[in-house]
Amino acid sequence: MTELKNDLVLRALKGEKTERVPVWMMRQAGRYLPDYLKLKAKYDFFTRVQTPELATEITLQPIDQVGVDAAIIFSDILVIPQAMGVEVLMEEGKGPSLPNVMKSQSDIDALQTDGVEENLKYVTDALSLTKRELNGRVPLIGFAGAPWTILCYMVEGKGSKTWDKAKQFAYTQPELAHQLLQKITNITINYLKAQARAGADLVQVFDSWAGSLSPADFKTYSQPYLVKIADALKDVVPVILFPKGTWYALKDLSQTSAAGLGLDWCIEPKFARELTNNSITLQGNFDPSKLLAPIPEIRKAVKEMIDGFGTQRYIANLGHGIMPNVPVDHAKAFVDAVKEYGV
């Protein structure tokens, strides 16, 4: 096993002292990088995801070009529904669509729950290949979508601002919703364990649409499944939970098996520290749109962010994924400003 030359992210997650704040960016591998766009012009989305050599090449691009402290495997959260036998289409510029949505008991009974590891072997192969290519430069992050977010796509059939159909399904057929959430949870646990075996040094669970739920409904339809995943992996690999838009759950989530919590930009760093009693590593929470500001403004905002969080038990990141129209030198300015803080 190659020794890590840069283990800042892992040390921050363990609560150990770090010489400086580690930094990476959600969606750092992909759409804003010119080299990625060249591959995008040649291969369709799922070819890029399902070809380990391509996924590895894309994963490594930001390490060389932006200088982040961790690599995150290039993949997609919707590989889980695919592995369960659900068709997922990806149209460039339009986002995902799932033609056959979950409506009934028979739809849920028909889902494949065995053989997910074999079905997702291309992800674990990409992780193993990336791990070799990284050769210990930085840690490698694996990930999955959270059960609630995956349910949203499987019931809604496409992206949504409000997720009305998904919520209607949960509120009118709660028993079916919990069956589906449990199936997704079981598969996700096995999938993340397989990612750890393949070389992921840590994993993140993206609950992108958790913020569509009220605090009470989050406690019913999202939080229990996030906790199950964190509990199942706690002795396997460090887990960062990122339920976007749920600042109200920070206290509860800080008392789980998770090693870290991702934050969006709608909460002040000091308030997040208070809610979590400084008992867990926090990650975030730069507004991705702010990367479009002039570089001096980016540097100033990074300083304010780290002033708020402090330099320990902290991983600098965005509050959601980087956007396609962010200039590479602005992304690099964000990373450099973190690295230069307090040095």
Q: Please report, in range form, the residues annotated as the binding site.
A: 27-31, 46, 76, 153, 208, 320
Separation CA 315–CA 166 (nearest Å): 32
b/e burial code for range 63-87 (CB count within 10 A of at least 16 → b): bebbebbbbbbbbbbbbbbbbbebe
Residues 288 and 318: their CA atoms lie apart, in Å, by 6
Q: Which residues contact 176 (CB under 8 A, 6 or more apart)?
A: 102, 104, 105, 108, 169
CA separation for the pair 253, 250 (Å, rounded):
5
Alpha carbon of 311 to those of 103, 253, 337, 340: distances in Å? 47, 21, 13, 12
CA dihedral 332, 250, 261, 185 (to 10 degrees): -130
Q: How many helices (H) and strands (E) does the chain have?
A: 17, 9
Residues of each annotated binding site for substrate: 27-31, 46, 76, 153, 208, 320
Say if residue 161 is exposed, middle or buried (CB neighbours under 10 Å; 0-12, 13-18, 19+).
Answer: exposed
In whole angstroms, what is the distance from residue 174 CA to residue 155 CA?
13
**Phi and psi of 236, rounded to 5°?**
-105, -50
CB under 8 Å to 73, separation ≥6 — which residues?
Answer: 29, 55, 59, 123, 126, 127, 130, 140, 141, 142, 143, 195, 200
- C-alpha distances out from residue 195 to 36, 131, 201, 252, 261, Å: 23, 11, 9, 27, 20
Give me the torsion for CA of 180, 283, 33, 340, rounded to 10°.
-170
What does DSSP say about strands 140-145 and 95-97: parallel, antiparallel, or unpaired?
A: unpaired
